[in-house]
Amino acid sequence: MAQETVAHSLDEDLSDVRSVGGWAAILVALLVAPEAALTYVAGAVSGHPELDGEGLKLLVSALVLTGPFSIAIGLIVLAMLRGWFPSSRSSRIGIVGALLVAGLFLGNLLYGVAGIPLQVVLDTGELGRVLAKQTGNLEMKLLAAIFSIVAGYFFLYGPAYFSAALVSGTFAGYAASKLLFRRRA
């Protein structure tokens, strides 16, 4: 069942997204470059916010490196906020798995379009071993596959970048839901 969209003005929606985005950016900065983030916040309080080049590089690298996982999380959050998940638990689990793979595909596609020499590869051999070991019904196998993919991202990125990807992906899904699927006030 799709959620009903409440009518707000574009200015209200943009203001909400800017506010949440600011907090998301601060949280990502604190996760990835805490010293740079604290320096920036201290400068903002005194009226002279500055972000040094090294801190900016860390933030940009976190967003670029975690692109596939951030995209996947954004797609999942967008689907959740819009009420696009079916009522069947098996279907919801399958959709989450498909969106994780879609994020991987789209992230790698963006890397290619942007000329970034990176590619995140799904270890299908390891995924096959996880599925073969997992007992139970199809739901349990799908959950094991999803956990394996998410754990792979965690070990690839490390805790700080993984958490930053969760934050940036959640914000992207929220912003897309708020701005792309809106009713006119």
Instruction: Using alpha carbons, select from 73, 83, 68, 57 the residue that is nearest to residue 24.
Output: 73
Looking at residue 1, its pLDDT comes to 46
55 — pLDDT class (breaks 50, 70, 90): low
Chain centroid offset of residue 86 CA: 21
Q: Could you give the CA distance from residue 16 to residue 119 in angstroms, rounded to a whole number? A: 34
Q: Could you give the CA distance from residue 177 to residue 179 in angstroms, rounded to a whole number? A: 6
Contact yes or no for 24/171 (Cβ under 8 A): yes
Q: Where are the domains of the chain?
A: 10-180
Which DSSP state fits 3? Answer: P
pTM of the model: 0.81
Which of 30-39, 104-113, 116-125, 155-164 is predicted least confidently?
30-39
Looking at residue 39, its pLDDT comes to 74
CA angle centred on 144, ends 143 and 147, rounded to 5°: 85
